[in-house]
């Protein structure tokens, strides 16, 4: 019989922040000091920055899905499911398992690291017709979808249908959108050579953003280098522009242009996971307000970090909060583990401070722009830094080997542009990939915890 009185630490989310935190807790806490539990819907940590390379077929999906069960030293109990609500008062997290059972998981310490979801706006048709680029399934789906547009355009006798299948729209000029447009344009550019009946000049990629600049964090010179590379490849960039309306066969831009297309990829920013709203606590732009130590002021044992938390950026000052990047999430993961341990042992917690190391943007092939430690790089040196950075940030040697092998294989043998059809005819809206409708309201959480009601 288990008569455990050890403190229970519950970590929600196995992304950059959550996994880093769990691994540090395992290393620094002795097994009889605390029980560590991780809630995660998937059995892997996803290396999101390389998703565009999965969509474009440079990497296989498995190579960026880093196993959570690589070593016997990993003693954390893993609950396969998603947290759908947290009741801070009774210290219970409500979980929907992958078999749809609802369980209440009590905790003494909770570390909230569920990341973010695609940010959408109230634009007619958007959530029904846009694809995101946040999950492995989305990346794999988009790859198949893009190749299927070539297949269908090739088979079609109708010039109007052909034209709409061969136009592609990416919204969001941040690094996610820019890399996605750049990598997928390379895919269609290379693939169309296998379709002798298709006129390559009909293929058009549009990259649009409401902001006046692409990736403003790159600065003016590097930003215009990136723009130049994309323009040279024929990607039409429209700044100060967004989507007014999205339909199954046409997208209308805010400048009035109607673009016939069956492919709208929406990467216009992220918002914190809907789990945060279930707490009923204070938020900044949807991210949980936390102290510089990443704890929730006034609530013992509650910590939040990564994309889902508004962690003050002390290195920047001026009330800034850390941007939602892997760079911060990773470091916050380690740091929050130290603070949980300090809190458990009655020691003083330390504030999180990290100076941004810069940005790398892989535009495919030998095209890249990078700004490590403020140094501006272009072309091959930038590409070497971008790939070297991502490669070294992959957690396991197996993942490193898979990614390196894939890069080499792709450089030597190229892509075979195979459409797998695994997800054909499946619902493919944002909510189907990101489970945004799975969460409870604070009232439903209370009811579930008090046992007076079972959520549907
Ligand atoms: C295409 C793309 C490119 C990017 N490129 C870069 C880059 O070059 N450099 C950079 O620094 N950052 C980049 N980012 C941003 C970076 O990936 C995120 O900032 C980072 O992943 C945030 O880490 P996190 O741990 O907070 O969240 P994630 O890494 O997203 O992890 C969250 C985890 O929680 C799980 N989860 C979600 N909801 C629940 C729930 N309810 N219950 C349990 N588990 C849950 C998810 O499945 C996931 O495993 C990119 C992002 C994208 C999408």
Asked if residue 249 has pLDDT above 90, the reply is: yes
Query: Looking at the structure, do residues 256 and 144 belong to the same domain, yes or no?
Result: yes
Query: Looking at the structure, do residues 205 and 337 belong to the same domain, yes or no?
Result: no
CATH value at residue 228: 3.50.50.100
Is 389 touching ligand 1 by the criterion CB < 6 Å?
no
Our CA angle for 234, 236, 242, nearest 5°, is 160
Query: Looking at the structure, do residues 342 and 442 belong to the same domain, yes or no?
Result: yes
Determine, yes or no, domain membership for 301: yes
Query: Looking at the structure, do residues 379 and 277 belong to the same domain, yes or no?
Result: no
At a CB cut-off of 8 Å and minimum separation 6, what does 9 contact? 25, 34, 35, 36, 37, 107, 108, 109, 110, 111, 340, 344
Query: Looking at the structure, do residues 410 and 341 belong to the same domain, yes or no?
Result: no
What's the pTM value of the predicted model, to 2 decimals? 0.95
Q: Who wins on pLDDT, 430 or 306? A: 306
Query: Looking at the structure, do residues 236 and 301 belong to the same domain, yes or no?
Result: no
Model confidence over 180-190: pLDDT tens digits? 999 999 999 99
- Taking alpha carbons only, the member of 59, 55, 77, 58 closest to residue 68 is 77
The residue whose CA is least distant from atom 35 of ligand 1 is 13
The tokens for 422 are: 């695994």
Asked if residue 1 has pLDDT above 50, the reply is: no
Best of 43, 46, 326 to mutate for ligand 1, by most ligand atoms within 8 A of CB?
Answer: 326
Mean pLDDT of 106-135: 96
What is the reported pLDDT for 451? 84
Query: Looking at the structure, do residues 142 and 261 belong to the same domain, yes or no?
Result: yes
Asked if residue 27 has pLDDT above 50, the reply is: yes
Is 40 touching ligand 1 by the criterion CB < 6 Å?
yes
Contact indicator for 114, 13 with CB cutoff of 8 Å: yes
Determine, yes or no, domain membership for 71: yes
Asked if residue 438 has pLDDT above 50, the reply is: yes
Is 333 touching ligand 1 by the criterion CB < 6 Å?
no
How many domains, in total, are found in the chain? Answer: 2
- Taking alpha carbons only, the member of 244, 218, 243, 264 closest to residue 377 is 218
Best of 23, 114, 180 to mutate for ligand 1, by most ligand atoms within 8 A of CB?
Answer: 114
Asked if residue 267 has pLDDT above 50, the reply is: yes
- Cα distances from 298 to residues 112, 290, 351, in angstroms, run 16, 10, 16
Lowest mean pLDDT among 3-12, 59-68, 203-212, 315-324: 3-12
Asked if residue 456 has pLDDT above 90, the reply is: no
Query: Looking at the structure, do residues 157 and 259 belong to the same domain, yes or no?
Result: yes
End-to-end alpha carbon distance in the chain: 33
Mean pLDDT of 196-204: 95
Is 14 touching ligand 1 by the criterion CB < 6 Å?
yes
Determine, yes or no, domain membership for 67: yes
Determine, yes or no, domain membership for 455: no
Query: How would residue 452 be classed by pLDDT, with cut points 50, 70 and 90?
Result: low
Model confidence over 363-416: pLDDT tens digits? 998 999 999 989 999 999 999 999 999 999 999 999 999 999 999 999 999 999
Closest ligand 1 atom, residue 45 Cα: 49
- Taking alpha carbons only, the member of 345, 276, 365 closest to residue 29 is 345
Q: What is the chain's mean pLDDT, rounded? A: 94
Strands of the 377-378 sheet, one edge to the other: 358-362, 368-372, 377-378
Determine, yes or no, domain membership for 3: no
Determine, yes or no, domain membership for 379: yes
Largest CA distance in the chain: 73
Closest ligand 1 atom, residue 325 Cα: 19
Determine, yes or no, domain membership for 409: yes
Helix axes 397-413, 379-393, angle to 10 degrees: 150
Query: Looking at the structure, do residues 318 and 393 belong to the same domain, yes or no?
Result: no
Query: Looking at the structure, do residues 305 and 259 belong to the same domain, yes or no?
Result: no
Model confidence over 150-184: pLDDT tens digits? 999 999 999 999 999 999 999 999 999 999 999 99
Query: Looking at the structure, do residues 135 and 220 belong to the same domain, yes or no?
Result: yes
Domain enclosing residue 55, as ranges: 8-118+271-356+435-450
Determine, yes or no, domain membership for 456: no
Query: Looking at the structure, do residues 226 and 314 belong to the same domain, yes or no?
Result: no
The residue whose CA is least distant from atom 3 of ligand 1 is 49
What is the reported pLDDT for 426? 81
């Amino acid at each position: 019989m288990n008569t455990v009185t050890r403190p229970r630490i519950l970590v929600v989310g196995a992304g950059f922040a959550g996994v880093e935190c769990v691994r540090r807790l395992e290393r620094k806490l002795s097994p009889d000091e605390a029980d560590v539990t991780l809630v995660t819907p998937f059995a892997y940590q996803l290396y999101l920055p390389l998703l565009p390379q999965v969509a474009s077929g440079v990497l296989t999906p498995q190579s960026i899905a880093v196993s959570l069960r690589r070593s016997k030293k990993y003693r954390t109990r893993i609950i396969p499911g998603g947290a759908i609500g947290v009741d801070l008062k009774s210290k219970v997290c409500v979980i929907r398992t992958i078999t749809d059972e609802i369980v209440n998981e009590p905790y003494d310490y909770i570390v909230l690291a569920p990341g973010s979801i695609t940010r959408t706006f109230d634009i007619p048709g958007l959530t029904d017709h846009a694809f995101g680029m946040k999950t492995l399934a989305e990346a794999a789906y988009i790859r198949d979808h893009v190749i299927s547009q070539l297949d269908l355009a090739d088979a079609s006798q109708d010039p109007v249908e052909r034209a709409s299948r061969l136009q592609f729209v990416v919204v969001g000029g941040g690094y996610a959108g820019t890399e996605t447009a750049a990598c997928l344009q390379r895919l269609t550019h290379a693939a169309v050579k296998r379709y002798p009946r298709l006129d390559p000049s009909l293929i058009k990629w549009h990259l649009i953003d409401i902001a006046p600049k692409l990736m403003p964090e790159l600065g003016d010179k590097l930003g215009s280098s990136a723009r130049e590379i994309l323009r040279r490849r024929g990607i039409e960039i429209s700044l100060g522009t967004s989507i007014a309306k999205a339909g199954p066969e046409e997208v209308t831009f805010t400048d009035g242009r109607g673009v016939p297309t069956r492919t709208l990829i929406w990467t216009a920013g992220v918002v914190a996971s809907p789990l945060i709203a279930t707490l009923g606590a204070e938020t900044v732009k949807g991210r949980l307000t936390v102290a510089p130590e990443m704890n929730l002021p006034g609530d013992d044992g509650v910590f939040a970090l990564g994309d889902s938390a508004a962690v003050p950026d002390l290195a920047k000052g001026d009330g800034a909060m850390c941007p939602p990047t892997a760079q911060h999430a990773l470091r916050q993961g380690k740091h929050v583990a130290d603070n949980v341990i300090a809190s458990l042992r009655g020691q003083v917690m330390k504030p999180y401070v990290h100076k941004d190391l810069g940005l790398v943007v892989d535009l495919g092939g030998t095209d890249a722009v990078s700004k490590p430690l403020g140094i501006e790089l272009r072309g091959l040196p930038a590409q070497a830094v971008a790939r070297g950075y991502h490669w070294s940030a992959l957690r396991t040697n197996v993942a490193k080997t898979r990614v390196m092998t894939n890069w080499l294989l792709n450089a030597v043998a190229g892509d075979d542009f195979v459409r797998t059809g695994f997800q054909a005819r499946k619902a493919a809206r944002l909510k189907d990939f990101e489970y945004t409708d799975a969460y409870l309201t604070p009232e439903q959480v209370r009811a579930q915890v008090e046992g007076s009601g079972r959520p549907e």
